[in-house]
Amino acid sequence: MAAIVAGDVAGDRVAQAQSVREPEPTTWAGIGFVLVPEGTLTVEDPYGHDRIPLQTAYGVELVGVRALLPRLEGVVAPRLLFDIAPEGAIETMKQLDLRLGLRGGAPLTPTLAVYGYGTAGYSILEFRETSGATARPSGLSLGAGVGIGYRVNPLAMVTLSIGYELGFQRWHPTGYTVNFEHDHLDVTGGLQFALN
């Protein structure tokens, strides 16, 4: 009889241990690798207006995520893009985006979730002028997209997202203003790790 009672107690403890789940991480950090398969650059100055198709570009981003509500997270996602230029161009531009955003999602399975996001930030283009000087048009950037996250273990997640960004940069050479509008599609794959 004592053995039966002991077995029942042990079984209850195992069931209780299995029912207790570790709390979900609230803070994540990681890195992403960005591919920009297509985009356009619109340039407007006192002498005219040009809309230029751009070649494939690439970049890297850092990501920090903090839970705000059960299904809503705050995001910090600065990134640097390279090789922004018309097809076949020798000189290319860089673009630095300093972005903040919100991300909301829902789990599909215990290890797979879908999410959508929106960002806003400050964007800086950098290119070399014909004189050899460096120009840095800057201004607002807006972005949005959707993605999936797969938990490879409780503290690590692989992400894949597709997004669209629109940038409004201005440059002020002596005596006039040049307006830039840069829009592109981007695909980002990344790896994030739980911090707590």
Residue 163 scores a pLDDT above 90: yes
Which residues lie across from 141 on neighbouring strands?
121, 167
Structure pTM?
Answer: 0.83
d(CA 168, CA 42): 10
Residue 12 scores a pLDDT above 60: no
Residue 13 scores a pLDDT above 70: no
What pLDDT does residue 133 have?
Answer: 82
Three-state secondary-structure class, residue 49: strand
135-157 pLDDT tens trace: 899 999 999 999 999 999 999 99
Provide the token pair at 59: 């970049």
Scan for tokens 């297509």, then name that residue: 38
78-109 pLDDT tens trace: 999 999 998 878 789 999 999 999 999 999 99
Task: List the alpha helices (DSSP H) in 32-132.
Answer: none
- Of 76, 87, 82, 39, the closest CA to residue 192 belongs to 76
- Of 103, 104, 97, the closest CA to residue 60 belongs to 97
Q: Label residue 103 exposed, middle or buried (CB < 10 Å: 0-12, 13-18, 19+).
A: buried
Q: CATH top-level class for 24-194?
A: mainly beta
25-81 pLDDT tens trace: 999 999 999 999 999 999 998 888 899 999 999 999 999 999 999 999 999 999 999
Q: What's the chain's average pLDDT?
A: 88
Residues above pLDDT 90, as percent of the chain: 71
d(CA 87, CA 69): 44
- Of 104, 86, 109, the closest CA to residue 38 belongs to 86
Cβ atoms 193, 38 nearer than 8 A: no
